[in-house]
Amino acid sequence: MSQGPLMPKATAVWLVENTSLSFDQIADFCKLHPLEVKGIADGEVAAGIKGLDPVSTGQLTREEIEKAQGNPNHRMKVAVSKVKLPEVKRTKGPRYTPLSRRQDRPNAILWLLRNHPELKDAQVMRLVGTTKSTIQQIRERTHWNSGSLQPMDPVTLGLCSQIDLDFEVQRAAKDRPAVEPAEGGATLMPPELSVLPEPEEHRDAPDHRGGRDERLDADSVFARLKPLRRGEQDDDDEV
Q: Which helix (H) or strand (E) holds 87?
A: none
pLDDT-derived band at 135 (thresholds 50, 70, 90) equals: very high
102 and 89 Cβ atoms separated by less than 8 Å: no
Q: Which of 40, 42, 34 has its CA nearest to residue 14?
A: 40
Q: DSSP letters of 31-63?
A: T--HHHHHHHHHTSSSTTPPP--TTTTTSS-HH
Separation between Cα atoms, residue 196 and residue 200, nearest integer Å: 12
Separation between Cα atoms, residue 44 and residue 37, nearest integer Å: 10
Per-domain residue ranges of the chain: 8-70, 99-175
Mean pLDDT for the stretch of residues 211-235 = 55
- pLDDT tens digit sequence for 161-172: 899 999 999 988
Q: At residue 194, does pLDDT exceed 60?
A: no
pLDDT at residue 140, rounded to an integer: 92
- pLDDT tens digit sequence for 39-69: 888 888 877 888 889 988 888 888 999 999 9
Buried b (16+ CB within 10 A) or exposed e, 153-190: ebbebebbeeebbeebbeeeeeeeeeeeeeeeeeeeee
In sequence order, the 6+-apart residues with CB closer than 8 A to the CB of 119 are 112, 113, 127, 168, 169, 172
Share of the chain above pLDDT 90, in %: 29
Separation between Cα atoms, residue 36 and residue 23, nearest integer Å: 9
**pTM exceeds 0.85 for this model:** no
